[in-house]
Structure 1
Amino acid sequence: MGSTTDKISGKANEIAGKTKQAVGKATGDNATRAKGAVQEAKGKSQTAKGNAKDKLKDAVDRM
């Protein structure tokens, strides 16, 4: 995947995870809250991966 794809997927997972956590909190469903937290963490990881790819590409381009 490209860096932009990673960042878009990451943000989508972060938003979906936060939404699941809110639904879980509102309904008292701890399993949904936990799934949301995992999905949000996955999204943050994807976003970081995309940012790292950008930095690596910039560094290579400067050589």
Structure 2
Amino acid sequence: MSTGEKAKAKAEQVVGKAVRKAAHALGNETTAAKGAALETRGKARDAKEKGKDGLRG
């Protein structure tokens, strides 16, 4: 997995989780859903890169 993609995936997960929790605490469910989507996108990016590494290895 390239270092840049790994960092981007982790950043999306962390930011998404923070946004989701903050928005949920404030009662803003629309923003909470967007944060959850960002977190999920980060997890999917991480899984994609790990899959590519598996094929190379």
TM-score grouping bracket, smaller chain normalisation? 0.7 to 0.9
Contact 1:7–1:51 under 8 Å retained in 2: no
CA contact (8 A) 1:7 1:48 kept: no
Counterpart mapping for 1:34-53 below 5 A = 34-53=33-52
TM-score w.r.t. the length of structure 1 is 0.80
Aligned residues: 56
Q: C-alpha displacement at 1:7, in angstroms?
A: 2.0
CA RMSD of aligned residues (A): 1.0
Distance 1:38 1:7 in 2: 18
Match of 2:28 in 1: 29
